[in-house]
Structures are given as structure tokens and as C-alpha cells.
């Protein structure tokens, strides 16, 4: 950091302000976490210098022997972590992983089913403003109004009616277990491929705290941050490698290509060029960390913290979508609190508590306003906070939301947040 300070003080000051923001605020955005210092070190290391288009042993550039080792290590650790037969660690993001998976298994214009964005899905699961909704014929399924959980009667009905080529399960604001087995049963009935997007619960799955998609899904995608606590990036996995079902052959030998070859080709050269070798190295670090016994303890605390928060929110009269959580994520419907999601996000931010506005199922407000907020516990758990702190944080949120115009409460809350963060320091390595 001292080098940046000497040569680019303007950027150095921006970075310092971001460090200060992270260490002095409560990060409750469910999709965010704090990577370890080891991950940060790898992500900022010399492997950023190396161009390595292609895959280990089959690069389009020379001098790749060591980045090949790093990528092979990342792939091996990822396969072990999820008990996967095949893994690709090159996608730059979860969205690009999803794009590559769709490019592999279906054709443009094919019918696909995914969870509606307003009901907890993701942009890449068929939103009309996203490539997925523009290139494919997406049919959205929903959660049941009475339960806030996936309406499998509707999923079955829509699948029978539309005969999708592929069904996506998973989402970005779904607080319950993903029911992979039930999706598999429906996919089998209509002859669909099944794709799992486990971007949010991936760390919990790795720790054995969430059902695994491996036995049930044809392809699995994820990010590497969030509950997995790695650098920002994407991955693709399958339970096993096998010959592709369409009979696609290698042009020279005529042999039937393996699925791994098709997925690899969809990633590169299909949708991106050179992989980010420094990020792949950082992924290897994160996967190694997740393989250690202490990661299971950490993941367990993430879930325990989320459930403690959910219980306290319910005790204070908040409405939770699905009535609680199985994971790291809580979706709060603020309709009965006379405040919009945007208003809550803004006022909580002023108090040093970071959340994001989020639509709730059957929301009558726009995505820019919303009726809800989404809260997650990975980042505060990384700071070693536990049940007592979760209850305290809910109390602080309740105070702010109950009296959003009370500046005295706002000031007191902000000081409480600062004091709490000081008691659970973050990134002390930056101050050594």
C-alpha cells in the first residue's frame, strides 16, 4: 500500500476511505463478505501479469507452466470441496458462468424456466433486461403467497405446459433451502436439463449445511465470494464428466466430445478470452481455506447468526418472507413498518449499517423503491460476531426504522455501530 501512496496518492486516499468504510460499518448485504488477507494478497499478486488464453496444457501463450499449476490446484480443490467430477474456475463472474452453462446446454430461442426476479430469482434467470431474457424464451415460476417458498405445483404445471429445455433452480433472495431433488423429479418428467445456481449458499453447501446439488443437477454454477468467502468470480461444476448427449464430435478424430470440453469451450473462446490468473490463484486460496475444518465452524455460525436475527426480527414485529431462514439470508417485508426499502436502505446507511433494498414477492412497488430489504450474515460473522451481537444489531435496525426522522437516535446508533465494529476489528494487517 505504501507504493500506491508514493506514486498515486489520489487513488491511495480513495482506497483508504474504502478500508475505513469497511472496518467501521456493519456490512449486512447478503451477497458481500470480507475475503481473507491471503485471498487479497493472491488477487493483487504477480499472476495478474500473465496472459493464459486456453486451459492448462493447452494454452495459446508460452510461459504458462506456473499459472497452469495454480489453475490445476484451484480445480482440484474445487472438485474436492463439492465432490464434483468436473470444475471450471475461469468465469469472471457468476453471471458469466450462467451464460456459459446456458450456451452449452441449450440454443438461442429455447424455452427455459427460472425463478422470477421479484420472487427471489436473479437477473440471469430470465429478466427481460438481461441477456437471458433477451436470448431465450424464459417462463418464470414463483413462490406461493401463503408460504413464501417455491410453488412446486406451479413449477410442475408450467413445466408440463411449456416443455422447457432447461430449468434453473436457485436465486439471489430466496432464504430457504433449494429443493434440488424436487426440481429433478419435475425435470425428469418433461425431459429437461437441470441447472443449479448456488451463488448464495455455496459456502454452506461446501460445509454440509445445505443440501448439495451434485447428485441431482446436470450443471452447477456459482460465484466464489458471498458465503464461500473468496474473490469475486465464477465457477462451473458437474457431478461427473461424460460424453455429450447431442453427439457433437471432435472435427479431426471424430470422437464424441466430453461435456467438459463443451463447457470449457463455452467459457473460452465462447464468451471470454484470457482468464484472470491472479483471481484464479485467489480462488485456489479460498477453496483451500474452505477445505479446512474451521470453515465448517464458520459456516455454522453464519447460519446460526441468521436464524438468531430472524427470530429477533419476528419478536419485534417484522414480517419475514417465508417466516424465517435456512441460510445466511433474511428477506424482510417492510409493508407494516410504513417505510419503503429504499428509505430503509438510505437511513440505515447514514447510521453505518449497510443493507440493500429488495423486492418482495408480489411487491406493488418498483425495483427502484421496493417494499423490502435483504439482510445477510456472512460479513459480520467473518468479524467473529455471534448471537448477542445479532440481537443488538436487530435492535439498532428496529430503532432506526421505527423513527427514521429522529436525528438523536440516528447519532446514537451510528456511535453504537462504531463501538461494535471496534470491538470486532477487521483487516488488522493493513495497520501492521
Q: What would the pLDDT profile of 140-185 be if each residue is shown by its tens digit?
A: 999 999 999 999 999 999 999 999 999 999 999 999 999 999 999 9
Categorize the per-residue pLDDT at 189 as very low, low, confident or very high, splitting at 50, 70 and 90: very high
CATH 3.40.50.2300 fits 18-34+303-431, yes or no: no
**pLDDT at 432 exceeding the cut of 70:** no
CB of 161 closer than 8 Å to CB of 133: no
Which position among 104, 124, 221, 223 bears the catalytic label? Answer: 223
Q: Looking at residue 1, what is its pLDDT?
A: 58
Let me know if 51 is a catalytic residue.
yes
Query: Is-catalytic flag, 242?
Result: no
Tell me the sheet residues that pair with 271.
none
Q: 386-393 — which CB contacts under 8 Å span 24+ positions?
A: 386/301, 386/304, 386/305, 387/304, 387/305, 387/308, 389/420, 389/424, 390/305, 390/308, 390/309, 390/312, 391/308, 391/309, 391/312, 392/416, 392/420, 393/26, 393/28, 393/309, 393/353, 393/420
Cβ neighbours of residue 275 closer than 8 Å, sequence gap 6 or more: 52, 53, 71, 90, 268
How would you class 231 by CB atoms within 10 Å of its CB: exposed for 0-12, middle for 13-18, buried for 19 or more?
buried
pLDDT at 193: 98
pLDDT digits 0-9 by tens, 109-138? 999 999 999 999 999 999 999 999 999 999
Is residue 239 scored above 60 in pLDDT? yes
Ordered by start, the domain boundaries in the chain are 18-34+303-431, 50-290
Residue 316 annotated as catalytic: no
Q: How far apart, in whole angstroms, are the C-alpha atoms of residue 81 and residue 284?
A: 11
Distance CA 73, CA 285 (A): 9
Which cell numbers in the block locate residue 39?
485471498
Q: Taking 90 as the threshold, does the pLDDT of residue 252 lie above it?
A: no
Residue 51 burial (10 A CB sphere; 0-12, 13-18, 19+) = middle
Q: Which residue has 446436470 as its cell numbers?
A: 218
252 part of the active site: no
- Residue 238 a catalytic site member: no
pLDDT at 32: 97
Which of 59, 149, 229, 232 is catalytic? The answer is 232
Q: How far apart are CA 375 and CA 401, in angstroms?
A: 14
Catalytic member of 116, 197, 264, 345: 197
Domain 50-290 class, CATH top level: alpha beta
Compute the mean pLDDT over every residue in the chain, rounded to the nearest whole number: 96
d(CA 57, CA 65): 8
Out of 53, 68, 154, 243, which one is annotated catalytic? 53
**Residues 359-386: pLDDT tens digits?**
999 999 999 999 999 999 999 999 999 9
- 288: cell is 483451500
| Across 17-43, average pLDDT | 96
Active site residue 223: yes
Q: Which residues contact 315 (CB under 8 A, 6 or more apart)?
A: none
In which band, very low, low, confident or very high, does the pLDDT at 241 lie, cut at 50, 70 and 90? very high
Note the pLDDT of residue 429: 78
Q: What percent of the chain has pLDDT over 70?
A: 99
List the catalytic residue out of 59, 165, 226, 357. Answer: 226
Amino acid at each position: 500500500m505504501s507504493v500506491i501512496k508514493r506514486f498515486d496518492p489520489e487513488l491511495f486516499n480513495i482506497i483508504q476511505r474504502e478500508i475505513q468504510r469497511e472496518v467501521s460499518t456493519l456490512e449486512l448485504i447478503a451477497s458481500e463478505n470480507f475475503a481473507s488477507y491471503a485471498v487479497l494478497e493472491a488477487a493483487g499478486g504477480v499472476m495478474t501479469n500473465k496472459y493464459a488464453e486456453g486451459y492448462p496444457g493447452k494454452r495459446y501463450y508460452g510461459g504458462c507452466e506456473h499459472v497452469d499449476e495454480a489453475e490445476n490446484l484451484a480445480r482440484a480443490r474445487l472438485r474436492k470441496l463439492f465432490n464434483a467430477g468436473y470444475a471450471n474456475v475461469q468465469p469472471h463472474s457468476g453471471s458469466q458462468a450462467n451464460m456459459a452453462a446456458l450456451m452449452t446446454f441449450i440454443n438461442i430461442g429455447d424455452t427455459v424456466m427460472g425463478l422470477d426476479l421479484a420472487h427471489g430469482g436473479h437477473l440471469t434467470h430470465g429478466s427481460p433486461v438481461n441477456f437471458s431474457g433477451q436470448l431465450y424464451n424464459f417462463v418464470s415460476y414463483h413462490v406461493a403467497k401463503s408460504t413464501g417458498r417455491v410453488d412446486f405445483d406451479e413449477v410442475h404445471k408450467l413445466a408440463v405446459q411449456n416443455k422447457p429445455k432447461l430449468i434453473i433452480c436457485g436465486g439471489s433472495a430466496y432464504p430457504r433451502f433449494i429443493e434440488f431433488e424436487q426440481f429433478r423429479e419435475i425435470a425428469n418428467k418433461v425431459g429437461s436439463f437441470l441447472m443449479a445456481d448456488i451463488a448464495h449458499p455455496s459456502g454452506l453447501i461446501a460445509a454440509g449445511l445445505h443440501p448439495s446439488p451434485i447428485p441431482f443437477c446436470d450443471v452447477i454454477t456459482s460465484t466464489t465470494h458471498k458465503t464461500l468467502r473468496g474473490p469475486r468470480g465464477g465457477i462451473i461444476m458437474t457431478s461427473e464428466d461424460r460424453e455429450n448427449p447431442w453427439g457433437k464430435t471432435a472435427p479431426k478424430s471424430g470422437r464424441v466430445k466430453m461435456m467438459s470440453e463443451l463447457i470449457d469451450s463455452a467459457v473460452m473462446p465462447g464468451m471470454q478470452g484470457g482468464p484472470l490468473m491472479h483471481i484464479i490463484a485467489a480462488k485456489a486460496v479460498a477453496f483451500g481455506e474452505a477445505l479446512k475444518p474451521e470453515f465448517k465452524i464458520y459456516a455454522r455460525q453464519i447460519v446460526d447468526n441468521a436464524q438468531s436475527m430472524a427470530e429477533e426480527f419476528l419478536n419485534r414485529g417484522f414480517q419475514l418472507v417465508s417466516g424465517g431462514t435456512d441460510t445466511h439470508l433474511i428477506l424482510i417485508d417492510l409493508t407494516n413498518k410504513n417505510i419503503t426499502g429504499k428509505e430503509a436502505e438510505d437511513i440505515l446507511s447514514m447510521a453505518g449499517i449497510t443493507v440493500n433494498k429488495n423486492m418482495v414477492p408480489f411487491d406493488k412497488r418498483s425495483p427502484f423503491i421496493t417494499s423490502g430489504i435483504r439482510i445477510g450474515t456472512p460479513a459480520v460473522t467473518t468479524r467473529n460476531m455471534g448471537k448477542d451481537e445479532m440481537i443488538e444489531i436487530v435492535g439498532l435496525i428496529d430503532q432506526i426504522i421505527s423513527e427514521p426522522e429522529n436525528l438523536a437516535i440516528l447519532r446514537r446508533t451510528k456511535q453504537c455501530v462504531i463501538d461494535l465494529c471496534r470491538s470486532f476489528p477487521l483487516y488488522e494487517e493493513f495497520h501492521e
